[in-house]
Amino acid sequence: MSQSKAQSDLLPSWNDGVAKKSIVEFVGRVTKKGGRDFVPPADRIAVFDNDGTLWAEQPFYFQGLFVFDRVRALAPQHPEWKDTQPFKAVLENDMKTLVAVGLHGLVELMMATHAGMTTEEFERTVKDWLATAQHPKFKRPYTDLVYQPMLELLAYLRVNDFRTFIVSGGGIEFVRTFSERLYGILPEQVIGSSIVTKFEVREGRLVLVREPKLDFIDDHEGKPVGINKFIGRRPIAAFGNSDGDFQMLEWVTAGTGARFGLIIHHDDGEREFAYDRASTAGKLDRGLDEAPKRGWTLVSMKKDWKRVFAFE
């Protein structure tokens, strides 16, 4: 069995086609000792968006749904929320307004619902929610909605001495609660949006307290900035699905030497969801137009993935 055959066997949920071929060829090129495009292991860094790239993001970002549940749970203690946006919209299930306020509105909700919590309390709250909440369409825990082909891709890259990072617009401490368990990605390999935390003594114990103050938005132009801050080196491969990932792919593929960019197109309304240019979550417009001319691989979920979820 040839090496390339063995390698493509590590991606059983990918149909044979241009997308799978481009992945296997890229990995083959950068790992071939003495080859023109060889990249030493220390530089084999691959970055992945999370929402819509590693797990689903419809009907809305799961962290958004988590925060909405928190608003509902805490509303009795905050009667003023009934008349204050964006809280009002959550309590009235007014998705149109929520979408209009965008990521900054979500961050505001998040800060309000978690202000004053320690990092440990926050982690417990997220884990409790993940253990109990169900996805409205699939009637399963959100953590079941990870993409099987992407799990195989992560493992395939790691077998080839890549280090895999998540670069998410979502909250860094939210994603870290499940990244190791779901993806085998350690907390230190998760980059995301963040609020400020403060070191203090509480009831005689040292704790880190989450403050209602924005620290960093890891989306659009923020993604290359976050990558530079946390990784300090330009990755050679980037995987995303929305225009929020555009600058990350742009930054990664503008480097010298072999580079790889990939965008997942959610075009499978039957097995998952079909959405792109007009979506409220994971809008993909510019990326769809520019992927071909920039040499980025465009994945059709419908055609390229044999299987979407492990439970299928």
Query: Shortest CA distance to 18 belongs to which of 297, 268, 293, 301?
Result: 297
Give the footprint of a second copy on residues 109-148 (CB under 8 A): 119
Query: Shortest CA distance to 307 belongs to which of 6, 10, 2, 11?
Result: 11
Contact predicate 91/67, CB 8 Å: no
- If one asks whether residue 225 binds a second copy (CB under 8 A), the answer comes out as yes
Single residue of 206, 256, 270, 278 touching a second copy by CB under 8 A: 206
The nearer residue to a second copy, 78 or 158, going by C-beta atoms, is: 158
Q: Is 260 exposed, middle or buried, given 0-12, 13-18 or 19+ CB atoms closer than 10 A?
A: buried
Single residue of 137, 229, 271, 286 touching a second copy by CB under 8 A: 229
Q: Report how far residue 245's alpha carbon sits from residue 251's, in angstroms, rounded to the nearest whole number.
A: 10
Q: Cα–Cα distances in Å, from 309 out to 14, 167, 208?
A: 12, 21, 36
Single residue of 16, 92, 128, 180 touching a second copy by CB under 8 A: 180
Single residue of 52, 169, 170, 224 touching a second copy by CB under 8 A: 224
Give the footprint of a second copy on residues 239-278 (CB under 8 A): 247, 250-251, 254
Single residue of 20, 44, 70, 176 touching a second copy by CB under 8 A: 176
Residue spans of alpha helices (H) in 160-300: 172-176, 179-183, 222-230, 246-253, 286-294
- If one asks whether residue 228 binds a second copy (CB under 8 A), the answer comes out as yes
CB of 71 to a second copy, least distance (A): 25
- For tokens 């084999």, the residue is 44
The nearer residue to a second copy, 158 or 307, going by C-beta atoms, is: 158
The nearer residue to a second copy, 176 or 283, going by C-beta atoms, is: 176
Contact predicate 263/19, CB 8 Å: no
Residues at the interface with a second copy (CB under 8 A): 42, 119, 163, 165, 172-173, 176, 180, 186-190, 194, 197-199, 205-206, 208, 215, 221-222, 224-225, 228-233, 247, 250-251, 254
